[in-house]
Structure 1
């Protein structure tokens, strides 16, 4: 069976994206019940912050190790295990009896989540041709944004109707079932299809290629301009969006514009809508133009100009401009799927996992750093009006997004469709 010409690849695509949708929803869903957890378990806000931090620190810290292991041993096992760990962690979260139980559950979710995106990219690389891959990355990005969207009003309504434990328990069960489904779709059924194929010679080549020393691979990647370009791109596009949206967007709307918590949450929805549109549209434009660098540089330029606009308006742009800025910044986050299109076209298949992990680390490192630095600047101006504090705090995402724009400039357009297609079918 030739994977890239098989109709079965669409079954793989559907199963992988279903799992990804549910997994992404659990990245932010716990934020909906922070106040309930504080009351039920009698814990402080810092403990709730630790629950979020441990999940994303585990995610960011494991990106490169997971990439190395996935390149060496294949993505199927790690995607299945990652999905099952997500499910198990979410189940334990719903059954938690104390804060330590909650902490352990979120750690499991973070470890499982770390194995998802990298292996999703690798699996799509194996099952789809390069021109299909770029477009499908946009679809995957859109599905991720829909997962975030599910974790807003729909999940909040579900919690209001049944209490918080039932929704998390149900999603945990569904994720465990998705792990089982992925085993059949990625491992068992393809083995049956390939049972009559003899590929001992090509297998020996693959094993030999994979035996390169890890330190040699890492040294080559860490000295690669292209790898650092993808790191900076993700640092500027993803981290500024996730870091701000996940921490300061709602307080910003409430303190600077006098909005209610519900009203300020609508700003997040606007960003999510932008992200849902940005992922498929940007990858489609890239495919039509036959280039990644030009549309991606435009995306980073727009993100940089949007954060600069916050600064130029003194931290309080007119409301109609604010809506546009949130939409464009969200669009840029969706467009960040092109980071992995660059990785796929620029590096050999045996290195796609570790380079994807390296690039993804940039995004989530930025998402961890931005809320903290942003908050420190706010604290420094705590005696002034809230507008002054936010005005100077916006210097942080401006600098971060400038690094993303530099990453876009550093990208070297490479076309390796022919050679990599041969690698995939070898």
Structure 2
């Protein structure tokens, strides 16, 4: 039976998205306890920034290798291993006795996380037709936003009730069990149902065309010299990294220190941004379909998000609370809209290169997420003797500059029309 015609594909979809939902929650959940870690382990703001950065550094550094190997050997086992590694890292984090184990834990979590999105994209492309794929990619983006949402008020309430170690320990156990579940769903059960392909999608494509696989170095050289690949890299750098990097490390402390909020209150404020992210993926995809364009709506999103960060500078790092909520809603919307990056990849590159180019584009977002927390932390440390809002005011210059680079990426996207019957894609 063909995978793309089987009902079982919806079980695959649910299992993969649930795992992705949990893993995404662990990107930002540590940000809820930044101030607690500083007290418990006597850490500086720069060290807290490093904790976030090391996770995203591992993620960013492995995106291209993961894309290459997943294209070549298939995505199933990489997704399983990633879920287990993320679970183990979260368990170590929950039991860490000192800063070294905190860093080790976030490194393992980052390595595990690095396998998730690229392989999710490849698994969905194997199990679903092109017309379904575009819609489900938006749903996957929503699942990620729900993961971020869980790491606000619900996780904050859990931490307040039981301390910070128990929630991370429980989540680590569940993630390890998710790895076991994925083995049965992606590997064992499809074999029993005779749904397993003997070859990966890329191998089939190469064999069908009677071509040899392109040398990896030549492939990378061609991608690195591609304007379209760099455009997607910069787009993700500007939208994803600024949002994830700030939410994952400094958003809750910002609300507590600058506005005098409780941890729960700051989490509720950040939740507004996550609601924006939930709206961003499906709404922007719908708009781009109505306009028959990816580039135009994407450029508008980049402009609006960049202007939103500039507003923080205009108000000296402390805009009025009502405006703050609007700004986080818009910035969150931009993060959700970043799913258009992978729509551009899909419509611009051959299917056998989608994994590695997706990895390259995703690298941009998480290089930004690596740089922002550390630079932001160093700025806060530099202005520690001044008022707390002064440090944040200068810190907000970083996301402004990063989103300007994202806007440049949007402008660099080249329109490309393909036969709709063959690809089901829209024009950039």
Give TM-score scaled by structure 2 length.
0.87
Please list every run of 5 or more consecutive structure 1 residues that lacks an aligned counterpart in the other structure: 422-426
| Separation of aligned partners in 1, 2:71 and 2:237 | 23
Equivalent positions of 1:19-418 (< 5 A) are 19-34=19-34, 37=37, 42-45=41-44, 48-194=48-194, 202=204, 205=207, 211-254=213-256, 256-376=258-378, 390-416=392-418, 418=421
- Paired residues in the alignment total 420
Cα offset, 1:208, TM superposition: 7.1
Once the two structures are overlaid, the 10-residue window that deviates more, 322-331 or 395-404, is 395-404
Cα offset, 1:251, TM superposition: 4.5
Is the CA contact 1:125–1:344 (under 8 Å) kept in the aligned structure 2?
Answer: no
- CA shift in 2, pair 1:414/1:190, >3 Å: farther
Once the two structures are overlaid, the 10-residue window that deviates more, 211-220 or 159-168, is 159-168
Is the CA contact 2:32–2:263 (under 8 Å) kept in the aligned structure 1?
Answer: no
Is the CA contact 2:152–2:268 (under 8 Å) kept in the aligned structure 1?
Answer: no
| Separation of aligned partners in 2, 1:178 and 1:210 | 36
- CA shift in 2, pair 1:169/1:384, >3 Å: closer
| Separation of aligned partners in 1, 2:10 and 2:271 | 30
Once the two structures are overlaid, the 10-residue window that deviates more, 102-111 or 207-216, is 207-216
What is the CA deviation profile of residues 177-210 of structure 1, one whole-angstrom value per residue up to 9, with x for unaligned ones? Answer: 2112212222223233337989899487179767
What is the CA deviation profile of residues 313-348 of structure 1, one whole-angstrom value per residue up to 9, with x for unaligned ones? Answer: 444433322221111111111111111111112111
What is the CA deviation profile of residues 339-376 of structure 1, one whole-angstrom value per residue up to 9, with x for unaligned ones? Answer: 11111121112111111111111111112222334455
Cα offset, 1:3, TM superposition: 2.7
| Separation of aligned partners in 2, 1:308 and 1:98 | 38
Cα offset, 1:383, TM superposition: 6.7
- CA shift in 2, pair 1:165/1:409, >3 Å: same
Q: Tell me the secondary structure at the aligned position of residue 72 of structure 1.
A: helix
- CA shift in 2, pair 1:225/1:197, >3 Å: closer
Q: Tell me the secondary structure at the aligned position of residue 414 of structure 1.
A: coil
| Separation of aligned partners in 2, 1:390 and 1:97 | 30
| Separation of aligned partners in 1, 2:31 and 2:391 | 25
- CA shift in 2, pair 1:248/1:128, >3 Å: same
Is the CA contact 2:236–2:341 (under 8 Å) kept in the aligned structure 1?
Answer: yes
Equivalent positions of 1:1-16 (< 5 A) are 1-16=1-16
| Separation of aligned partners in 2, 1:236 and 1:116 | 21
Once the two structures are overlaid, the 10-residue window that deviates more, 223-232 or 190-199, is 190-199
| Separation of aligned partners in 2, 1:351 and 1:410 | 20
RMSD: 3.0
Give TM-score scaled by structure 1 length.
0.87
Cα offset, 1:36, TM superposition: 5.0
| Separation of aligned partners in 2, 1:182 and 1:246 | 27
Once the two structures are overlaid, the 10-residue window that deviates more, 203-212 or 288-297, is 203-212
- CA shift in 2, pair 1:4/1:297, >3 Å: farther
Q: Tell me the secondary structure at the aligned position of residue 177 of structure 1.
A: helix
Q: Tell me the secondary structure at the aligned position of residue 412 of structure 1.
A: coil
Please list every run of 5 or more consecutive structure 2 residues that lacks an aligned counterpart in the other structure: none
Cα offset, 1:98, TM superposition: 4.7
Once the two structures are overlaid, the 10-residue window that deviates more, 351-360 or 275-284, is 275-284
